[in-house]
Structure 1
Amino acid sequence: MSTAQHLATIDLLRSREFPAEHGRSDAGSGGPGYHIAELATRDELREPAPEGDAQDQWVADRDGLSSMLTERWGEPQWFSLWSVSLRAVEGGEEIPEPWAALSAYVPDVQVWQADGRWIVLGIPLGAEDLPFRLVAAVTDVDPP
């Protein structure tokens, strides 16, 4: 997917109602108060990259999309989901979705707020083992 297609996916999710039940969607998954989109997948790598270069590509893709979102909504906030995961695992804290799901595989995210919704962008940790490389979420649930 191109940056323009990623933007179109984010815009589509921003315009959609949130599903009443947790489940899969055409873009990824969703539930009450959120959508999560799997923007870039393993099959969409532009070309095979030497080991180590793939991570650079995912970062470049994220940064390119982030620049476009920043033009729309200003500078993002960086938010650590590692500490959210730690609070859930070690402290037993109940973390609301989509933050609980994201914190399981995305260590940190960039977030923007627009029209009462949070737009979230991140790269999964261990992305080389996952079928997706770049995720976005749209939610009305405040970060924990």
Structure 2
Amino acid sequence: MSIARHVAVVERLCGSDLPEEGVAADRDAAPGRCGPGWRAAELLGSCPDGDPGLAAEAADECEHEREALAQRLTARWGEPQRVGLQGALIRAAEAGEEIPEPWGRLCEDLTDVHLWWTGDRWLALGVSHHGLEPPHALLAVVTTEDPP
């Protein structure tokens, strides 16, 4: 997918209504997953294959696409914050801290995100790795929930 298409998907996410409180999270909602106060889209994904060389290549492609997209989004919303999510995952596991959605799910899938404040919601852009095992994915998430 081209960067222009990624930007179009991100713009749709940022302009879309977010589900209201009390709505059950839906992992299969178009154009991606959603839940109360958030919506996500997979911009680029890889299919599981089992070949470690292909897995590393797919991870590199997702990272490259994230950086290229981040440059375009930076022109619109300024420099992103780089936010590590592993600390929140550790706090949840060790101290039982409840991490609100979508951040709880993102902490399980992403090590870090590029984060912009778009005026009324957060936009997070990250790459799901799961180690070197596929599938890898470039994800965009919009939410009104502050990051952990």
Q: Same fold (TM over 0.5)?
A: yes
**How far apart are the structure 1 equivalents of 2:134 and 2:15?**
28
CA displacement at 1:51 relative to structure 2: 5.8
- Which residue does 1:67 correspond to in 2? 71
What is the Cα-based RMSD across aligned positions, in Å? 1.7
Amino acid at match of 1:108: D
Distance in 2 (CA, whole Å) between partners of 1:127 and 1:133 is 12
Q: Displaced runs of 4+ in structure 1, greater than 4 A?
A: none
The answer to whether structure 1 residue 4 and structure 2 residue 4 are counterparts is: yes
Deviation, structure 1 residue 130: 4.3
Give, in angstroms, the shift of residue 53 of structure 1. 3.3
Shift of 1:129: 3.5
C-alpha distance in 1, partners of 2:126/2:62?
A: 10
Determine whether 1:82 maps to 2:89: no
Provide the TM-score with structure 2 as the length reference.
Answer: 0.86
Provide, for residues 56-102 of structure 1, a one-character-per-residue CA deviation record: whole Å limited to 9, x for no partner. Answer: 22211110000000000110000011111111111100111110010
**Residue matched to 1:46:** none
Aligned to 1:13: 13
Aligned length: 139
Specify which structure has the higher proportion of strand: 1
Q: For 1:30-73, what per-residue CA distance to the aligned partner results, in whole angstroms no more than 9, with x for missing partners?
A: 11110111110115xxxxx7563333222111100000000001
* Structure 1 residue 125: Cα displacement: 2.2
8 Å contact kept, 2:129–2:135: no
Distance in 2 (alpha carbons) for counterparts of 1:98 and 1:69: 21
- Equivalent residue of 1:123, what SS? strand
5+ unaligned residues in a row in structure 2: which ranges? 48-52
CA contact (8 A) 1:40 1:134 kept: yes
What are the superposed Cα offsets for residues 11-39 of structure 1, whole Å, 9 maximum, x if unpaired?
A: 11111111232112112111111011111
Q: Letter of the aligned partner of 2:58 in structure 1?
A: A
* Equivalent-residue separation in structure 2 for 1:40 and 1:123 (angstroms): 9
Asked whether 1:134 is paired with 2:134, we answer no
**Equivalent-residue separation in structure 2 for 1:2 and 1:127 (angstroms):** 25
Any stretches of 5+ residues in structure 1 without a counterpart? 44-48
Bigger mean CA deviation after superposition, 32-41 or 123-132: 123-132
Equivalent pair of 1:6/1:65 in contact (CA under 8 Å)? yes
Whole-Å separation in 2 of the counterparts to 1:34 and 1:107:
19
1:5 to 1:127, Cα distance in 2 relative to 1, 3 A: farther
